[in-house]
């Protein structure tokens, strides 16, 4: 039996440690999940008091206040002592880190510190190592490329048998002489072969400077809202989304896979029996695909599980009938990706060629379910390709969008490494930096400033208030608000929501 420690730097939604631990436990190995440090959401003008990850999430909340996600206080000696002490007690044969693109730097700091105490292999997995393996291999001993469930069990089996771990398929590795080995990829997993995620309290540790070391602690709100995915992959290829990058790297054919209904319900039965959950969050990229699967699943979910739930949809993947089925099964809230009210931005830069008329119709279909289903939508802004016409077009679109559809906030675009959207931005920046072709520079247009976005973001938020549309149009045409966007704050009376299902924390 091998002993594998799984470290998740910063608490928050991440199903990977639970899934990997479930695989290890089923294979007869021992695992421990350590959530190391909390990240914070802080007001934009206070973020200077914190460390900030490489790709912080910046957004404007529903009350008009600008926030920064993924801020944290520096790693302290106390936190390191607690982490090292916990690992010394566990005696790991390997240490795994779950790494997203934004925390590669932080994962490196923690790994280097732990190397001083633990002469064991360090394996990194997650989106960060998958997208930037060369960068990660400068620190890690192995990086997992793409899905890691079979990789982590293969590693544990080899450690247990004292076998070579440098040729595990699905990894990059270093031999003892430092030679880099790029092993062949593994095929995409059959989701029905996956274990039930490990949410056993005794396997969890949470370490943070203010609260010290706590055992038997789940991340965030698990005991109230249960997170689950019934599928992997996405039928769409939005340029700003990691799913499109995975499709480029590993192929789109057969990438969208859904779990067997019996296995999904088996997991939910376990969670309902063993955890104090009040609702379910379906974190599928787009839950409303594969109607035949849903036709069978939804009645069984209603009859066997019977908990309220939230899910995600896309403007072209639901119908009024499907929405009624979802509501009948227990859906109390649903989020639809809109991202922009400019068809030009959607088609030319986001690879989302959906007509605005269809988006409006899809939103109305959600509203028609009644007030007992809460509708939300996502919006992305501060896109360097946007012009004044695009921002004004989004405002006009939001004036038509049914008011009951709310948003948690307006996210500013993040240029994650290797994404197609980021490539577009890099090409644009290169062209702007060149003096060779002035006509092309003129065609790109002037990048809008922060004051432009402050103004439009507040206009966008106003469209979700009870203010009449004609009054909104008048405000949108009044130059005094453009010159002083802070004048709009008096109208922003919506309190930000922190829960899709209405549960308070």
Q: DSSP letters of 142-188?
A: EEE-S--HHHHHHHHHHHHHT---TT-TTEEEE-TT--EEEPPPPPP
pLDDT at 442: 46
Please name which of 62, 61, 5, 13 lies closest in space to residue 30, comparing C-alpha atoms.
5
pLDDT at 498: 60
pLDDT at 337: 95
CATH number of 221-491: 3.80.30.20
How far, in Å, CA of 432 to CA of 142, rounded?
Answer: 39
- Contact of 503 with 224, CB cutoff 8 Å: yes
pLDDT at 315: 97
How far, in Å, CA of 450 to CA of 437, rounded?
Answer: 27
pLDDT in tens, 120-132: 999 999 999 999 9
pLDDT at 482: 93
What does pTM read for this prediction?
0.93
- Contact of 286 with 235, CB cutoff 8 Å: yes
Give domain limits for the chain. 3-37+75-207, 221-491
pLDDT in tens, 151-204: 999 999 999 999 999 999 999 999 888 899 999 999 999 999 999 999 988 899
Enumerate residue ranges in the chain where pLDDT < 50: 439-445, 504-505
Instruction: Please count the other Cβ atoms lying within 10 Å of the Cβ belonging to residue 345.
Output: 22
How far, in Å, CA of 251 to CA of 245, rounded?
Answer: 9
How far, in Å, CA of 101 to CA of 55, rounded?
Answer: 8
Give the SS3 label for residue 83: helix
pLDDT at 262: 98
* Cα-based angle 148, 154, 160 (whole degrees, multiple of 5): 135
pLDDT at 431: 84
Name beta bridge partners: 3: 30
Alpha-carbon distance values, 292 to 204, 296, 297, 324 (Å):
37, 7, 9, 15
Angle of helix 388-400 relative to helix 356-367, nearest 10 degrees, comes to 30
How far, in Å, CA of 386 to CA of 349, rounded?
Answer: 10
Query: CATH assignment of 3-37+75-207, given 3.40.50.280, 1.20.1260.10, 3.30.70.20, 3.30.565.10?
Result: 3.40.50.280
pLDDT at 444: 46
- Contact of 195 with 261, CB cutoff 8 Å: no
């Amino acid at each position: 039996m091998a002993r594998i420690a799984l470290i998740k730097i910063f608490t928050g939604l991440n199903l990977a440690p639970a899934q990997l631990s479930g695989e290890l436990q089923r294979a007869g190995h021992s695992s421990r999940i350590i959530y190391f440090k909390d990240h914070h959401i802080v007001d934009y003008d206070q973020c200077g008091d914190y460390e900030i990850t490489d790709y912080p999430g910046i957004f404007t909340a529903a009350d008009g206040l600008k926030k920064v996600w993924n801020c944290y206080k520096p790693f302290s000696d106390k936190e390191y002592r607690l982490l090292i002490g916990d690992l010394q007690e566990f005696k790991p044969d390997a240490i795994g880190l779950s790494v997203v693109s934004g925390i590669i730097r932080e994962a490196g700091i923690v790994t280097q510190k732990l190397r001083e105490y633990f002469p064991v292999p360090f394996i990194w997995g997650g989106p960060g190592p998958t997208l930037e393996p060369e960068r990660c291999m400068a620190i890690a001993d192995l990086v997992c490329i793409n899905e890691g469930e079979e990789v982590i069990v293969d590693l544990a089996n080899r450690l247990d048998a004292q076998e070579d771990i440098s040729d595990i398929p699905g990894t990059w590795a270093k031999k003892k002489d430092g030679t880099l080995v790029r092993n062949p990829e593994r095929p995409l997993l059959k989701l029905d072969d996956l274990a039930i995620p490990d949410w056993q309290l005794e396997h969890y540790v949470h370490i943070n400077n203010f609260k010290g070391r706590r055992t038997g602690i789940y991340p965030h709100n698990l005991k109230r809202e249960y997170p689950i995915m019934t599928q992997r992959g996405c039928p769409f290829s939005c340029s700003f989304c990691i799913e499109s990058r995975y499709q480029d790297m590993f192929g789109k054919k057969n990438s969208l896979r859904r779990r067997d209904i019996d296995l999904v319900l088996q997991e939910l039965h376990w969670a309902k029996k063993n955890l104090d959950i009040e609702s379910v969050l379906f974190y599928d990229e787009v839950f409303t695909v594969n109607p035949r699967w849903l036709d069978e699943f939804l009645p069984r979910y209603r009859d066997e599980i019977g908990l309220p739930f939230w899910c995600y949809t896309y403007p072209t993947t639901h119908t009024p009938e499907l929405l009624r089925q979802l509501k009948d099964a227990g859906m109390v809230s649903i989020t639809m990706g809109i991202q922009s009210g400019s068809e030009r931005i959607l088609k030319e830069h986001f690879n989302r060629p959906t007509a605005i008329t269809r988006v409006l119709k899809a939103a109305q279909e959600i509203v028609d379910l009644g007030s007992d289903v809460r509708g939300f939508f996502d919006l992305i802004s501060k896109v360097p390709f946007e012009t004044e016409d695009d921002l004004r077009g989004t405002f006009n679109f939001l004036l038509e969008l049914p008011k009951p559809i709310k948003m948690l906030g307006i996210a500013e675009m993040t240029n994650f490494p290797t994404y197609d959207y980021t490539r577009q931005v890099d090409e644009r920046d290169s062209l702007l930096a060149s003096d060779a072709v002035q006509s092309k520079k003129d065609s790109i247009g002037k990048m809008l400033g922060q004051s432009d976005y402050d103004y439009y973001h507040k206009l966008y938020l106003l469209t979700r208030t009870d203010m009449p549309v004609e009054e909104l149009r008048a405000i949108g045409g009044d130059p005094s608000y453009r010159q002083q966007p802070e004048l709009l704050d008096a109208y922003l009376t919506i309190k930000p929501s922190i829960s899709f299902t209405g549960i308070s924390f």
